[in-house]
């Protein structure tokens, strides 16, 4: 992945955005990470460490880096119970003990859900639309009530994960070039929204789309939701320069970030709601360049998004690549660790926290 220096990135962003920049007030930016895989890693004997190699519980480590929130995914009937409601409760308790806010991310699947796959849970596979709405609402409300009954407060809830192509396929499947099924997508989204509010009335509901640089797609989907009674409080987006460049959507990291910030501003103006970057990540094999990008992202969010972006969450920062004897690497490329230790990438978070504390 080609990432240029922070000064060049930020200059490119500023050149591509018109209108006055409005600095955010201290305390208005949520700094977080999706650390849903922590307990599964621990069960396999994989523990987070600090930069000196000292074993540190992952939630504690994220807190030490200045984060004030965590994001936790929920699967319906997952193998081994990982990311089931009991597992989510364990992670939520850790976050609560550290005074961190909690975002719950419903995938509405038994496993990973993203733009390439939105598989219906096995136990729901024969349901029609009305039955699917009921199952979705029951699963959402039951999971959240379980957390609430165990003393957990939830600040945000995602109804679906990266649903650019809809979710619960084929019933809720959409395509930006064919929105004929948008009413189903909106109905399922609203069923989730109402279920969230029935348990946590003050929680903010997020509809999450990937490719944060792609304003036309966002407007097509959210216009469609609005026209069909879809409900949301916050627009969530993924911003990954690595994938944007790999699939030739953007020429470089600077363009990816510039277009995402422009999109945030446009969405805020068009729909009157806040936006959160609920997933981001950079190439952990090039940590200094990754740090420069993340610093530029925070600079742009804090200073140049008209106050519209209220949070930045890194996806699975504890993930790492291991260097093999033959020179290849194994593992997830976009975490923030290398050989089981944090890299400089995470230094962007305490820096962002300091920026937000300034008068």
In tens digits, what is the pLDDT along the chain, a chain of 359 residues? 333 333 444 344 434 433 333 333 444 799 999 999 999 999 999 999 999 999 999 999 999 999 999 999 999 999 999 999 999 999 999 999 999 999 999 999 999 999 999 999 999 999 999 999 999 999 999 999 999 999 999 999 999 999 999 999 999 999 999 999 999 999 999 999 999 999 999 999 999 999 999 999 999 999 999 999 999 999 999 999 999 999 999 999 999 999 999 999 999 999 999 999 999 999 999 999 999 999 999 999 999 999 999 999 999 999 987 777 777 777 889 999 988 899 999 999 999 999 998 74
Please count the CA atoms within 13 angstroms of the CA of 221 that sit on its side-chain side.
Answer: 29
The single residue of 204, 279, 289, 292 carrying the catalytic annotation is 279
Q: Is 90 a catalytic residue?
A: no
Identify the CATH class of 34-357: alpha beta
Q: Is 330 a catalytic residue?
A: no
Calpha distance 176→216 (Å, rounded): 9
Calpha distance 208→222 (Å, rounded): 11
DSSP sequence for 204-218: EEEEEES-TT-HHHH
Domain ranges of the chain: 34-357
The single residue of 162, 204, 250, 318 carrying the catalytic annotation is 162
Contact 201, 253 (CB under 8 A): no
Q: Fill in the DSSP letter of residue 317.
A: T
* C-alpha separations of 213 from 24, 58, 171, 252, 271 in Å: 21, 30, 27, 12, 17
Contact 256, 16 (CB under 8 A): no
Calpha distance 109→213 (Å, rounded): 26
């Amino acid at each position: 992945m080609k990432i240029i220096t922070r000064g060049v990135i930020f200059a490119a962003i500023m050149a591509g955005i018109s209108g006055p920049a409005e600095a955010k007030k201290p305390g208005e930016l949520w700094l977080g990470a999706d650390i849903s895989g922590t307990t599964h890693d621990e069960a396999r004997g994989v523990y987070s460490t600090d930069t000196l190699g000292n074993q540190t519980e992952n939630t504690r480590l994220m807190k030490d880096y200045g984060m004030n929130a965590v994001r936790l995914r929920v699967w319906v009937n997952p193998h081994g119970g990982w990311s089931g409601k009991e597992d989510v409760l364990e992670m939520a308790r850790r976050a609560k003990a550290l005074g961190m806010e909690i975002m719950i991310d419903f995938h509405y699947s038994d496993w990973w859900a993203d733009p390439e796959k939105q598989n219906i849970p096995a136990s729901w596979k024969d349901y029609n639309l009305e039955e699917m709405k009921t199952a979705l609402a029951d699963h959402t409300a039951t999971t959240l009530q379980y957390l609430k009954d165990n003393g957990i407060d939830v600040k945000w809830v995602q109804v679906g994960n990266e649903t650019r192509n809809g979710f619960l396929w084929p019933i809720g499947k959409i395509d930006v070039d064919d929105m004929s099924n948008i009413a189903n997508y909106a109905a399922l989204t609203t069923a989730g929204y109402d279920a969230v509010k029935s348990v946590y009335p003050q929680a903010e509901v997020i509809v999450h789309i990937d490719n944060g640089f792609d304003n036309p797609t966002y407007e097509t989907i959210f216009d469609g939701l609005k026209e069909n009674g879809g409900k949301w409080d916050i627009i969530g987006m993924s911003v990954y320069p690595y994938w944007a460049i790999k699939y030739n959507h953007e020429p470089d990291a600077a363009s990816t970030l510039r277009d995402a910030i422009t999109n945030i501003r446009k969405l805020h103006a068009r729909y009157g709601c806040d936006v959160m970057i609920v997933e981001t990540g950079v190439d952990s094999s090039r940590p200094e360049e990754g740090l420069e990008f993340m610093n530029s992202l925070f600079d742009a969010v804090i200073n140049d998004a008209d106050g519209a972006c209220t949070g930045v969450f890194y996806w699975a920062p504890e993930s790492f690549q291991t260097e093999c004897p033959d020179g290849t690497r194994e593992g997830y490329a976009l975490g923030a660790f290398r050989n089981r230790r944090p890299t400089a990438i995470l230094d962007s978070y305490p820096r962002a926290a300091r920026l937000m504390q300034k008068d």
